[in-house]
């Protein structure tokens, strides 16, 4: 603290042989205080407090940035894993149906045209399945990297549990930009930089300092001829110093101008950053509302496609519809499932990002 005086204490003792009084000793205590220095110590103390608070808020923001990146990657991994499972299901169904068609073709119950079309469709599904499998592996490796797992975690069996719960379609709470961590960081940095600029400008003017000091000393306090307090001395001093640099070739003026320009430039950059943050939050709210509506519609579409496939499958087995209708229904269901889960995890990502901007991401994850 700039208000605490500076103290120094020193003591020494030695034993000398021979002699009547072999002991020599000394004790010195000094106390000094800079009572006034044009407010420089106070300003530096304020800057230190502002920088400390800024570092604390920045550390929290960096921590949540890491959790946000991990959370979004985890949801992407969950989506890729779910899409692969859908591809496996569709590929298995189509492979089974191809076996039936192939057997019917060999028995003369199916035409060569039916066999070739089913074969080509099976190949398309297999290509999509392999692509989804590769996408999942890449997504998993990226997630392992973010959580700090070793590169060989795939072989060790490390895995992640899926989060398939539907999110609550709740309205996002209004977010005041002044409560955003970036705004707090910017405000603290602006306040600290304003004080630093003021210090630089103040160097152009006379500097006045007032110091006060006191020194206490005691000699031969160990087995001396006098008592401890009989040979001690107390001195004090005060100093008033006025300093003014008459000629510095314009160095201080240029320093003050440079500090003012730096403050202005960084201030404009911070304002631009805050505008981008506000724009991002506004866009995030609009995207969230659209995602919530899309999720509701995709959920209804998925129910309809499940019902439709059940009816088409029944009619196909009874020979009432062609294989093309059945394959089309399979693809429609796969597309509906893919859209449903894509919207589901996009909605989760959006909620996660909004909690980050609220500053409640860490609590939301661990509560």
DSSP string, 255-291: HHHHHHHHHHHHHHHHHHHHHHHHHHHHHHHHHHHHH
Query: What is the model's pLDDT at position 61?
Result: 92
In sequence order, which residues have a C-beta less than 8 Å from that of residue 6 and are 6 or more positions away? 31, 32, 33
The predicted model gives 181-208 an average pLDDT of 85
Q: Is 121 helix (H, G, I), strand (E, B) or coil?
A: helix
At 226 the pLDDT is 59
The C-alpha atoms of residue 176 and residue 198 are separated, in whole angstroms, by 31
Most confident of 8-12, 227-231, 255-259: 255-259
185 pLDDT above the threshold of 80: yes
Provide mean pLDDT across the span 80-87: 88
The answer to whether 163 and 78 have CB atoms below 8 angstroms apart is yes
Domains of the chain plus CATH, in order, are 1-36+207-243 (2.20.200), 37-151+172-206+244-366 (1.20.1600.10)
Give the range among 216-230, 260-274, 277-291, 347-361 with minimum mean pLDDT.
216-230
pLDDT exceeds cutoff 60 at 21: no
pLDDT average, residue stretch 56-61: 93
Q: What is the pLDDT of residue 13?
A: 44
| Interval 337-363 mean pLDDT | 90
Average pLDDT over residues 180-192: 88
Q: 1 or 63, which is more confident?
A: 63
Higher pLDDT, 246 or 151: 246
CB-based contacts of 104: which residues, under 8 Å, 6+ apart? 110
Tens digits of residue pLDDT in 116-150: 777 777 788 888 888 888 998 888 888 888 888 77
- The pLDDT value recorded for residue 7 is 54
Residue 222 has pLDDT above 70, yes or no: no
State the Cα angle at 311 between 307 and 313, rounded to 5°: 115
Do 365 and 96 contact (CB within 8 A), yes or no? no
**pLDDT classification of 300: cutoffs 50, 70, 90:** very high
Q: Is the per-residue pLDDT at 155 higher than 50?
A: no
Q: What is the pLDDT of residue 313?
A: 84
| H or E, element range at 140 | helix 112-146
pLDDT digits (tens, 9 = 90+) for 159-182: 666 667 777 877 877 878 888 888
pLDDT greater than 70 at residue 229 = no
Query: 162 and 81 in contact (C-beta within 8 Å)?
Result: yes
pLDDT tens readout for residues 312-346 = 888 877 878 777 787 788 888 888 999 999 999 99
Q: What is the dihedral of CA 190, 194, 195, 198, to 10 degrees?
A: 170
The residue among 151 and 351 whose pLDDT is bigger is 351
pLDDT at residue number 17:
46
What is the per-residue pLDDT for 263?
A: 82
Residue 298: per-residue pLDDT: 92
Sheet with 232-243, strands from edge to edge, namely: 6-15, 23-36, 207-219, 232-243
- The Cα–Cα gap between 82 and 342 comes to 9
Backbone angles phi and psi of 320, in degrees to 5: -90, -15
- Rounded distance between C-alpha atoms, residue 40 and residue 77, angstroms: 55
135 with 94: CB under 8 angstroms?
Answer: no
Contact 158, 149 (CB under 8 A): yes
Confidence of residue 279 (pLDDT cuts 50, 70, 90): confident
Residue 63 has pLDDT above 80, yes or no: yes
Under 8 Å between Cβ of 61 and 181: yes
Cα 318 to the center of its chain, rounded Å: 58
- Report the DSSP beta bridge partners of residue 36: 210
User: What average pLDDT score do residues 1-8 get?
Assistant: 52
Please list the alpha-helical segments (H only) found in 219-250: none
What is the pLDDT, as a whole number, of residue 231? 65
SS3 249: coil
Instruction: Choose among 1, 59, 353, 43: nearest CA to 184.
Output: 59
Helix pair angle (181-202, 251-317), 10° resolution: 170
- pTM value? 0.71
For position 15, what pLDDT does the model report? 42
Q: What is the mean pLDDT of residues 17-31?
A: 61
């Amino acid at each position: 603290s700039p208000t605490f005086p500076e103290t120094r204490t020193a003591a020494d003792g030695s034993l000398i042989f021979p002699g009547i009084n072999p002991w020599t000793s000394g004790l010195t205590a000094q106390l000094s205080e800079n009572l006034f220095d044009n407010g420089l110590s106070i300003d530096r103390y304020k800057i230190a407090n502002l920088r400390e608070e800024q570092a604390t808020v920045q550390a929290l923001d960096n921590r949540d940035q890491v959790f946000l990146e991990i959370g979004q990657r985890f949801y992407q991994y969950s989506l890729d894993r779910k899409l692969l499972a859908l591809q496996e299901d569709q590929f298995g169904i189509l492979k089974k149906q191809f076996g039936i068609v192939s057997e019917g073709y060999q028995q003369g119950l199916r035409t060569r045209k039916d066999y070739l079309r089913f074969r080509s469709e099976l190949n398309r599904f297999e290509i999509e399945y392999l692509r989804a499998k590769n996408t999942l592996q890449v997504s998993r490796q990226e997630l392992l990297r973010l959580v700090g797992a070793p590169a060989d975690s795939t072989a060790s069996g490390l895995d992640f549990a899926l989060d398939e719960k539907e999110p609550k379609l709740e309205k996002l709470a209004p977010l005041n930009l002044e409560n955003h961590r970036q705004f707090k960081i910017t405000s603290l940095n602006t306040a600290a930089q304003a004080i630093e600029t003021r210090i630089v400008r103040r160097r152009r003017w006379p500097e006045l300092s007032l110091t006060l000091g006191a020194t206490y000393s005691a000699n031969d306090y160990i087995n001396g001829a006098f008592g401890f307090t009989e040979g001690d001395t107390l001195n004090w001093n005060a100093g008033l110093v006025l300093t003014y640099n008459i000629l510095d070739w314009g160095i201080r003026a240029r320093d003050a101008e440079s500090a003012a320009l730096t403050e202005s430039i960084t201030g404009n950059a911070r304002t631009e950053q805050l505008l981008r943050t506000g724009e991002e939050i506004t866009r995030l709210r609009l995207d969230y509302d659209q995602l919530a509506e899309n999720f509701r519609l995709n959920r209804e579409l998925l129910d309809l496609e499940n019902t439709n496939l059940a009816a088409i499958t029944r009619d196909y087995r009874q020979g009432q519809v062609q294989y093309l209708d059945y394959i089309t229904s399979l693809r429609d269901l796969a597309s509906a499932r893919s859209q449903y889960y894509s919207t589901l995890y996009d909605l989760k990502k959006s909620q996660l990002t909004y909690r980050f901007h609220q500053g409640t991401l860490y609590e939301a994850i661990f509560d």
